[in-house]
Amino acid sequence: MKITNIAIKTKTKNYSLIIGSNIIKKISKILNSKKINFEKCLIVIDENIPLKFRKKLIKNLKSKIKIVHIFKVSEKNKNYKSINNIHNILFKNRFNRDDCLISFGGGITGDVVGFSASTFKRGIKFINIPSTLLSQVDSSIGGKTGINNDFGKNLVGSFYQPEIVISDIELLKSLPKREIICGYAEILKSSLIEDLKKFNFLNSNIKKILKLKSPFIEKAIINSCKLKKKIVEQDEKEKNLRKVLNLGHTFAHAYESTLNFSNKLNHGEAVIFGIKNAIKYSFDLNFLSKKNFELIRNHILKIKLPNTLNKLFKEKDINKIIYFMKSDKKNSSKKINLVLLKDFGKIKINYQISDLKLKKFLISELNNKNL
């Protein structure tokens, strides 16, 4: 495939998102063309990345002074300790603001490294090389960084834009199917936010996309990235419009937190459940037509998830789920804010729901065998 260059222009920084196949070997050329200069870099590498890709990145950074740190990826390691470990390496090796911190990994790695970059000496150069489908279509774009704490997911963090994002589609071929489904959740979400045409493309080609067939996977990635670019440029710090990107996420983050980030449920799977919940509640409120509800629900059924909500949670877990939903950073009142769907491309971003109504809804959802 040809290299795609998506220019992202925010109030705090303009940068490029480069999408292509086998472009890690061109990284020095890409950085030179974008005038991104530094003498030394710390490369934080996701432990799940195959050795051949690690070697390729290190080799093709050529004359740069390179220090490598392998990051053991898990939601439980998305914490202050991991930030401190990275900071200590930077301090011990006398890094300054003109040097660079590079993330080479999935969304967890990008969040941790991005937050480390934003807080080291109040900001060091940061380059993101996302290695998973989820991170390529979602977390690497828009400058959100963050870590988890006892109160929930991503509650401590910053908005910090990178110097550049380099998405190499070749990396996706090393991923297990479950990781591809994880990323597909965000691709689906983007189509619902954008329009029926984008959804129909997914609906017609879901099997090809999940099998990473060209040019379907490339088009799906580029479509999602262009939507997120458009939204981030208008609302960099999630004051209003950017909240549409949280469709399904208030439920999803609470599910992950309730399970204490167990590998029984990854982020994308949680988002798919969250989207199911959001469209069902939208339908219950007569926001979403029966035709569109069934169209989306039937599409989701084509995604073969390893678990169901009613296998993961029991009624006794509902109070805990609601507790984490109330801790969600998007809430601005005593009630919980939900992002709901009125139609393809039409999102209601601040629907407030009481604890009692939410509890009744979650009970009915857990009793739904299709979930």
Average pLDDT over every residue of 350-364: 94
Segment 27-39, tens digit of pLDDT: 999 999 999 999 9
- Asked whether 351 and 340 are in contact (CB, 8 A), the reply is yes
Q: Please list the alpha-helical segments (H only) found in 93-212.
A: 107-119, 133-134, 177-194, 196-210
Q: Is residue 318 within 8 Å of 337, Cβ to Cβ?
A: no
Q: Of 237, 224, 33, which is closest to residue 130 (Cα–Cα)?
A: 224
Per-residue model confidence as pLDDT tens digits over 38-83:
999 999 999 999 999 999 999 999 989 999 999 999 999 999 999 9
What is the chain's mean pLDDT, rounded?
94
- Whether the CB-CB separation of 322 and 357 falls below 8 Å is answered with no
| Residue 207, number of CB atoms within 10 A of its CB | 10
Q: If you search the block for the tokens 């208008």, which residue do you land on?
A: 234
pLDDT tens, residue by residue, 79-134:
999 999 999 999 999 999 999 999 999 999 999 999 999 999 999 999 999 999 99
pLDDT at 369 over 80: no
pLDDT for the residue numbered 334: 72
Alpha carbon distance 110, 46 (integer Å): 9
Instruction: Tell me the chain's radius of gyration from C-alpha atoms.
Output: 20
Q: DSSP labels for 282-305? A: HHHTTSS-HHHHHHHHHHHHTS--
Interval 213-237: pLDDT, tens = 999 999 999 999 999 999 999 988 8
pLDDT in tens, 319-335: 999 999 998 777 766 78
Helix (H, G, I), strand (E, B) or coil at 43: strand
Q: Which of 112, 208, 299 is nearest to 291 (CA)?
A: 299
**CA-CA-CA-CA torsion sign (325, 326, 329, 333):** positive
- The Cα 164–Cα 93 span in angstroms is 23
| Per-residue pLDDT at 370 | 63
**Residue of 332 and 314 predicted with greater confidence:** 314
Select the more confidently predicted residue: 169 or 139: 169
Contact by Cβ (8 Å): 151, 331: no
What does the pLDDT read at residue 94?
97
The answer to whether the beta carbons of residues 157 and 109 sit under 8 Å apart is: no
| SS3 (DSSP) at 243 | helix
Q: Does the pLDDT value for residue 177 go beyond 70?
A: yes
- In the block, tokens 């204490």 appear at 260
